[in-house]
Chains A and B, each alone.
Chain A
Amino acid sequence: MSKIIRVGFLRGGLEIKQFMRQRESVVFTLLFPVLLLFIFGSVFKGEVAPGVTFSQYFLAGMIASGLVNTGFQQLAIMIPIERDFGTLKRLRGTPISPISYFIGKMIMVFTSMIVQIAALLLFGVLLFGLNLPTTVDKWLKFTWLVLLGSICSAILGIAFSAVPKNGRGASAVVSPIVIILQFFSGVFFVFSTLPKWMQDFAALFPLKWLTQGMRSVFLPDGFASQEVAHSWETPRTAAILIIWLVAGILISLRTFKWSEK
């Protein structure tokens, strides 16, 4: 067991090294969200509610999106590519446990996510004077949202990695799903202003709950009354994320493929 964990951490180190050496992945994961924050923050200068700027609202959504980008999107694209390139087939021919492989992926996801969130917070504070939470409670909530959200997101990425037929097409299958969910889940638009059918649809997926959760961290408590449910719905958020996490684990166990055959 200790070997499985040790090799998992070694794989994590290797994955981070590979990640840092791929210019596209670094730009896409680190710079792109910051660029979006800059564009949206510069264009929409208004307030969503008294004392709440759109930038603040958008930052919460972008952090939630970061969990989906670095976990779900990254793995659902990367794993089919690794399947095509023979990485997974080669690993399967060695004594490595699949658990070590997944530990490595989790470490990589977690690292890129931390860096992405740190970049967003840093630029948010420097460029738009965004307010960071000041209470321990909120930082605690932020922590469990990040942990649960990123694990859930990564597991769903592994589960979804069985869908793209090959590595080349993976991005075309995965990215639109993420972008549509971002539009529907209150990242680019204020959620309460969206049509009801859109809100109902988004409520089926984790991203809407993550954005709402992040708003409960980064927006004033009073803003809860502006939400569709007039509440942060924290227990429900946790429940829905856990349901998706369990579903993701079950699907991964059934469908994860080491090789293309």
Chain B
Amino acid sequence: MSAVTDSPLAIEVRGLVKRYSSKAAGEKIAVAGIDLDVRLGEIFALLGPNGAGKTTTVEILEGYRNRDGGSVKVLGSDPGNLGAGAANWRDRIGIVLQSTKDAEDLSVAEVVHHFANYYTNAKDADQVIEAVGLTEKASERIETLSGGQRRRLDVALGIIGNPEILFLDEPTTGFDPEARRAFWELIRNLRAQGTTILLTTHYLDEAEALADRVGVIVDGKIIEVSTPSNLGGRNNAKARISWLENGVRAELLTDNPTKEISVIAQRFTGEIPELAVHRPTLEDIYLEMIGGK
């Protein structure tokens, strides 16, 4: 983690604003002044409840949407004003969108090999298929893939161009636990090769497992940016000790759990019955953060 601290920026966002207007709801502010720095080589996770502005923010960074205010730089270019450099810029980024259903009649290999032709520095298509674990499915039609396999194909198409930055929008929604673990491994391998990754998710364990830093976004604003272990003062939060004493569950909040436990231990001969020490999980911290808005 410290290795990336001084890296130059892959993404630099200042005061980003996006409004939507609809006849029914009038004007809605989706992104209300976001500042965001993502360093080259890190995995940054944007966490937030549905409708918080995660996807809008990422789609502005990907060049899909225009913004109403602020400045954005991705790999040194403004995605809202790429002009003639658009193809070169897109050559250097990879995008994994939320659910897609395209190309159902083609095989995995056909599509991945085809997309490799779009990029100047494409990876080897068969190796990419191998990396996402679809080798056995390579000659199958895409319509026969499961949800998780489909998503891994999306990732294959996102990384085939050997991108410097990879955008992942809720990549593991609908995965079973095993598939998620495999997917995380894939993302870690990409990071090890130097790919910068911006990930949106509403799975806390995913952010914790993958991200160097997380930003929590609520109502279009980033309320905190930190490492997963320090988010919301989690590293300084009190530990909760619980045990069974005289048939009653006892509980204690403390900054010094080791000391407290040694005190309690003196009252027992041998094991403290049902002893447990809890630190707040990322989820506890996060729910507190978004609930307290």
Q: How far is the CA of A7 from the CA of B91 in the complex (A)?
A: 14
Q: How far is the CA of A89 from the CA of B167 in the complex (A)?
A: 14
Cβ contact of B114, chosen from A14, A86, A93, A261, cutoff 8 A: A14
Q: How far is the CA of A89 from the CA of B157 in the complex (A)?
A: 13
Knowing A95-B88, A95-B91, A95-B119 touch, does A21 contact B161 (C-beta < 8 A)? no
A-B contact count (CB 8 A): 67
Check B65 for interface membership: any CB of A closer than 8 A: yes
Q: Are B102 and A90 in contact (CB under 8 A)?
A: yes
Q: Are A86 and B110 in contact (CB under 8 A)?
A: no
Residues of B within 8 A of A89 (CB): 64, 97, 100
Q: Are B117 and A93 in contact (CB under 8 A)?
A: no
Residues of A within 8 A of B155 (CB): none
Q: Are A93 and B95 in contact (CB under 8 A)?
A: yes
Q: Are B110 and A97 in contact (CB under 8 A)?
A: no
Q: Are B106 and A17 in contact (CB under 8 A)?
A: yes
Contact count band on B: 20 to 34
Cβ contact of B65, chosen from A22, A94, A261, cutoff 8 A: A261
Q: Are B90 and A85 in contact (CB under 8 A)?
A: no
Q: Are B117 and A95 in contact (CB under 8 A)?
A: no
Q: Are A86 and B64 in contact (CB under 8 A)?
A: no
Knowing A21-B105, A259-B64, A261-B65 touch, does A96 contact B100 (C-beta < 8 A)? no
Check A143 for interface membership: any CB of B closer than 8 A: no
Check A92 for interface membership: any CB of B closer than 8 A: yes
Check B164 for interface membership: any CB of A closer than 8 A: no
Check B37 for interface membership: any CB of A closer than 8 A: no
Q: Are B102 and A7 in contact (CB under 8 A)?
A: no
Q: Are A14 and B102 in contact (CB under 8 A)?
A: no
Cβ contact of B115, chosen from A21, A85, A94, cutoff 8 A: A94
Check B265 for interface membership: any CB of A closer than 8 A: no
Check B99 for interface membership: any CB of A closer than 8 A: yes
The 0/1 profile, CB within 8 Å of A marked 1, for residues 196-222 of chain B is: 000000000000000000000000000
B74 → chain A, closest Cβ, in Å?
Answer: 12
Residues of A within 8 A of B90 (CB): 93-95
A5 → chain B, closest Cβ, in Å?
Answer: 12
Q: Are A95 and B87 in contact (CB under 8 A)?
A: yes
Check A121 for interface membership: any CB of B closer than 8 A: no
Check B101 for interface membership: any CB of A closer than 8 A: yes
A97: nearest chain-B partner, CB-CB = B87
Interface size on A, residues (CB 8 A): 23
Q: How far is the CA of A123 from the CA of B88 in the complex (A)?
A: 50
The 0/1 profile, CB within 8 Å of B marked 1, for residues 1-45 of chain A is: 000001100110010011001100000000000000000000000
Which residues of A from 31 to 90 have beta carbons under 8 Å from B?
A: 82, 85-87, 89-90
Cβ contact of B110, chosen from A14, A85, A94, cutoff 8 A: A14
Residues of A within 8 A of B63 (CB): 93
The 0/1 profile, CB within 8 Å of B marked 1, for residues 180-197 of chain A is: 000000000000000000
Residues of B within 8 A of A21 (CB): 105-106, 141
Check B103 for interface membership: any CB of A closer than 8 A: yes
Knowing A18-B103, A21-B105 touch, does A86 contact B118 (C-beta < 8 A)? no
Residues of A within 8 A of B101 (CB): 85-86
The 0/1 profile, CB within 8 Å of A marked 1, for residues 21-63 of chain B is: 0000000000000000000000000000000000000000011
Which residues of B from 109 to 123 have beta carbons under 8 Å from A?
A: 110, 114-115, 117-120
Could you list 28 examples of A-B contacts with CB < 8 Å?
A: A7-B117, A11-B114, A14-B106, A17-B105, A17-B110, A18-B103, A18-B105, A82-B102, A85-B100, A85-B101, A85-B102, A86-B97, A86-B99, A86-B101, A87-B100, A87-B103, A89-B64, A90-B97, A90-B157, A93-B90, A93-B93, A93-B97, A94-B95, A94-B118, A95-B87, A95-B88, A95-B91, A97-B87
Residues of A within 8 A of B (CB): 6-7, 10-11, 14, 17-18, 21-22, 82, 85-87, 89-90, 92-97, 259, 261
Residues of B within 8 A of A (CB): 62-65, 86-88, 90-91, 93, 95, 97, 99-103, 105-106, 110, 114-115, 117-120, 141, 157, 161
